[in-house]
A and B are shown apart, each in its own frame.
Chain A
Amino acid sequence: MPHKSSYISSSSLTAPLQYLSSEGEPLSEVGGKHELPDFVNDKALLLQAYRWMNLTRAFDQKAVALQRTGIIGTYPSSLGQEAISVACGMALEKNDVFVPYYRDHGSQLVRGHLIEHLLLYWGGDERGSAFGPPLDMPICVPIATQASHAVGIASALKIQQKRQAVLCTLGDGASSKGDFLEALNLAGSWHLPVVFVINNNQWAISVPRHIQSGAPTLAQKASAAAIPNLQVDGNDFIAMYEVLTEALQRARQRKGPMVIEAISYRLSDHTTADDASRYREQDEVDKAWKNEPIKRLQKFIFQCGFWDKKSEGCLQDDCQTQIEKSVIAYQKIEAEQPEAMFDHMYQSWPDVLDDQVVECGEKYKRNFLTPENQFPGLK
């Protein structure tokens, strides 16, 4: 597949790599630079991607609704990011290590996280991060810090002589932080098996891309660390999956790190606590909807004859059923006992915590188990 390495090694790519138009038409047929990759003939793979993307969106809609009704807490929607997230999940092999930020619900689902565990996390329960592939990191809230952990894990894998890759995701805002730039520097210097995906959804809460950096592309920040980098249309699953697959394979083969800037658009508010109408025009959002990733892949698989209206109906029903079941499962999980907050502070408790555990139990009885309960709302 000679075309495959061409875009990684060449700097001639001036526009983001894209195979499908927003209407799902192969660009190669309308004068594009690149032939479609072979895997587009793999019906099972494309349908798998399409199902995950739909499940991700259905989960997302449900999660927002659950926040609105007070069942989970503040939640960052992944609306419009489904191609990036699902491509990340699918390109990773089981033994690879995923180091996410906090908008990677799609990747987490593909990596085997149960919907009820995702809800646990966003429902304010630490056990939401207690599951997943052995070394996959928990959702990372402090922006860009996960990039440093990713190079640490990649370094460990290299030292342990394991042929595994690390995939780290971050947002356009995170690309401004020192952690990311230091991580690039270290990954380049130590030639580490790590791939960074910058999910450039154009907005870091209210700060638009042009304020975030004067660099023409965010990908090119990697050039200073001599790390191959490119921009990809993040709403084009075909392009995302191809580039990710190759980047991770390079990493596993000890050919070094890579940075992928996935161009997309945050169709939602930053989180359920945000109101994006305060800082961006609806016209811009309406325009971005025309490029959204699910419709694009849907049109393509329809054209390929892989999909029909009946399958579509079944898929939507299946997604809803699965989510409803998971929500019920989630709501059946009782909160941990108050004293659980002490259980995982250290492998063995220092003596000093003994008194505090007793105090915690007394506090619980005083506030929740007595007739003069002062905090009924907290129950």
Chain B
Amino acid sequence: MNNETLKNVNLVEAINMALNYAMSHDESIVMLGEDIGKNGGVFRATDGLQEKFGFTRIMDTPLAETSIAGAAVGMAVAGLKPIAEIQFMGFIYATLEHIICHAARMRNRTRGRLTCPMVLRAPYGGGIHAPEHHSESTEAIFAHIPGLRVVIPSSPARAYGLLLAAIENPDPVIFLEPKRLYRSEVHEVNDNGQPLPLDRCFTLREGEELTLISWGACIKECLAVVDQMNAEPGSHDRIELIDLASIKPIDFATISDSIKKTGRCVIVHEAAKTCGVGAEIAAYIAEHLMAYCKSPVKRVTGFDTVMPYFRNEQHYLISELDIKAAINTSLNTRF
């Protein structure tokens, strides 16, 4: 390993590092979005990139999300690799017609004559005391759409590797960044241009008694709970933690193997419960793995409410205690 490429970075710096690496190695990559140029993005994900790569490749757009997505579709069809940034997930809905009706279908509707290799990046999730519409977790909307890939990293290293993979992918990828983790921790990341697989989940902790599945910002609380429970005297390695990472397609092979081993499953996500991605995982377990299950699948999710404004968002967000309670319920239940 080349030590010169090892860097201590937080998650948003890892995003910047991946964008920088990809743009340095592929001239067809361009970026477009609001305030991504001189300002470097409101979270600084594109900091310094316009200075390095110029106005032609790092484009500040007018304040129009529909145009950002629609123009990205056109650019992708015409041979560029656009990486479009939507400033917050709460503003991503204006892009849906282009993402659903065009980006996701271009390959299919032209039988492969035209393709739409683009990445749509957006910070998502709550917990940063942001104004209304700045805390959404609506990944399930995109996960429902055939033709898309949806990816959510949960650490600087996975943000780096998964973003590189999303950029390399020949199909449209929705890349959602857990903004609560943007600056929460610094880890060592190797800036070597190595992508991570786009359709595999990551087993972050191995355990024998229960499979805990989560993604994005909730991984932080999950890790804390698992490390605490696995270290309890006499209960070594009880909980297996899987970071889903690829929300679509879901790596059911890894999930199956884990549940066949543990027989119990708790799914944690910040998004609202009904038709959340957790429901898809639970349905898969019900269809394929019931014989292995020792207790019902449990979901720890956001409520079916509008995300409360920040004075009360802590009553909506998932805490370590919420996760621990669900794990204990599952461990203490048997069919």
Task: Note all chain B residues with C-beta closer than 8 A to A150.
Answer: 74
B70 A151 Cβ-Cβ under 8 A: yes
Q: Does A149 contact B (CB under 8 A)?
A: yes
Residues of B near A185 (CB, < 8 A) are 62, 64, 67
Pick the contact of A152: B57, B72, B146, B252 (CB < 8 A): B72
How long is the Cα–Cα vector from A182 to B66 in the complex, in angstroms?
Answer: 8
Q: Are A142 and B101 in contact (CB under 8 A)?
A: yes
Check B249 against A152 for contact (C-beta < 8 Å): no
Contact present for A345 and B146 (CB under 8 Å): yes
Decide: B111 and A156 in contact? CB cutoff 8 A.
no
B107 A155 Cβ-Cβ under 8 A: no
User: A353 CA to B251 CA in the complex, in Å?
Assistant: 12
B165-177: contact bitstring with A at CB < 8 Å (1 yes, 0 no)?
A: 0000011000000
A346 CB within 8 Å of chain B: yes
Q: Cβ of A347 and Cβ of B69 under 8 Å apart?
A: no
Give per-residue flags for A213-256: 1 if the beta carbon is below 8 A from chain B beta carbons, else 0. 00000000000000000000000000000000000000000000
In the complex where A145-B70, A350-B199 touch, is A345 in contact with B75 (Cβ < 8 A)?
no
CB pair B62 A189 closer than 8 Å: yes
A130 partner, pick from B101, B110, B248, beta carbons under 8 A = B110
Known: A129-B110, A344-B111. A137 touches B77 (CB 8 A): yes
A370 CA to B328 CA in the complex, in Å?
51
B78 interface contact, C-beta 8 A: yes
B108 contacts partner chain A, Cβ-Cβ < 8 Å: yes
- Complex CA–CA separation, A186 to B149 (angstroms): 28
Q: Which residues of A contact B61 (CB under 8 A)?
A: 186
- Chain B nearest CB from A259 CB (Å) reads 16
B183 at the binding interface (Cβ < 8 Å) = no
Distance, CA A195 to CA B76, complexed state (A): 20
Residue B115 lies at the interface, judged by CB distance under 8 Å to chain A: yes
**Would you call A351 and B249 a contact (CB within 8 A)?**
yes
Question: Which of A183, A190, A346, A351 has most B Cβ within 10 Å?
Answer: A346
| Chain B residues closer than 8 Å to A211, beta-carbon distance | none
In the complex, which residues 69-91 of chain B have their Cβ closer than 8 Å to any Cβ of chain A?
Answer: 69-80, 82
Q: Which chain B residues lie closer than 8 Å to A183 at the CB level?
A: 67, 70
B113 lies within 8 A of A130 (CB): yes
Shortest distance from the beta carbon of A335 to any chain B beta carbon, whole Å: 13
| Residue B304 interfacial (CB < 8 Å) | no
Contact A145 B101 (CB under 8 A): yes
Interface size range on A against B = 35 or more
Contacting pair A129 B113 (CB below 8 A): yes
The residues in B between 100 and 117 inclusive whose CB is less than 8 angstroms from any CB of A are: 101-102, 107-115
Q: Flag if B78 contacts A97 (CB, 8 Å).
A: yes
**Is the CB–CB distance between A154 and B74 below 8 Å?**
yes
Partner of A160, one of B59, B79, B110: B79
In the bound complex, residues from chain A placing their C-beta under 8 Å from that of B70 are: 145, 147-149, 151-152, 179, 182-183
Task: Say whether A178 faces chain B, with CB atoms less than 8 Å apart.
Answer: yes
Question: A-facing mask of B54-68, CB < 8 A → 1, else 0?
Answer: 001101011010110
Q: How many residues of B contact A (CB 8 A)?
A: 47
Residues B71 and A152 in contact, CB atoms below 8 Å apart: yes
Query: A138 near B: Cβ within 8 Å?
Result: yes
A352-B250 in contact (CB<8A): yes
> Does A135 sit at the interface, judged by CB under 8 A?
yes
Please determine whether B66 and A152 come into contact, CB atoms closer than 8 angstroms. Answer: no
Q: Which of B62, B111, B147, B249 has the most CB of A within 10 A?
A: B111
Partner of A344, one of B59, B71, B112, B250: B112
Contact string, A157-173, partner B, CB cutoff 8 A, digits 1/0? 10110000000000000
Q: Contact: B98 with A145, CB < 8 Å?
A: yes
Which of B64, B113, B171 interacts with A182 by CB under 8 Å?
A: B64
Cβ of B30 within 8 Å of any chain A Cβ, yes or no, is yes
Q: How far in angstroms is the closest Cβ of chain A from B177?
A: 22
Give B76 Cβ to nearest chain A Cβ, in Å.
Answer: 8
Residues of A contacting B67 in the complex (Cβ-Cβ under 8 angstroms): 148, 151, 179, 182-183, 185-186
Q: How far is the CA of A184 from the CA of B304 in the complex (A)?
A: 39
Check if B199 sits within 8 Å of A351, measured CB to CB: yes
Which residues of B have CB within 8 Å of A341? 108
Is B26 among interface residues, defined by CB-CB distance under 8 A? no
In the assembled complex, the CB of B7 is this many whole angstroms from the nearest CB of chain A, namely 30
Q: When chains A and B are docked, how far (Å) is the Cα of A370 from the Cα of B76?
A: 44
Given known A179-B66, A352-B252, contact A155–B74 (CB-CB < 8 A): yes
Q: Is A131 an interface residue (CB 8 A)?
A: yes
A153 interface residue (CB < 8 Å to B): yes
A353 to chain B: closest CB distance in Å?
8
Residue B253 CB within 8 A of the other chain: yes
Residues of A within 8 A of B30 (CB): 159
Contact (Cβ within 8 A) A347 B78: no
Complex contacts, B69 vs chain A, CB 8 Å = 148
B-contacting residues of A (Cβ < 8 Å)? Answer: 97, 99, 126-127, 129-132, 135, 137-138, 142, 145, 147-157, 159-160, 178-179, 182-183, 185-186, 189-190, 341, 343-347, 350-353
Closest 8 CB pairs of A and B: A152-B74, A148-B70, A350-B249, A156-B78, A152-B71, A130-B111, A149-B74, A153-B74
Query: Can you show 19 pairs from A to B with CB atoms below 8 A apart?
Result: A126-B109, A126-B111, A129-B113, A130-B111, A135-B114, A137-B114, A142-B102, A148-B74, A148-B98, A152-B70, A152-B73, A156-B74, A160-B78, A182-B62, A185-B62, A186-B67, A341-B108, A346-B107, A347-B171
Interface residues of B (CB under 8 A from A): 30, 56-57, 59, 61-62, 64, 66-67, 69-80, 82, 97-98, 101-102, 107-115, 146-147, 149, 170-171, 199, 248-253
Known: A138-B110, A189-B62. 14 other contacts (CB 8 A): A145-B101, A148-B98, A149-B71, A149-B73, A151-B74, A152-B75, A153-B75, A153-B78, A157-B78, A159-B30, A159-B56, A185-B62, A344-B107, A346-B107
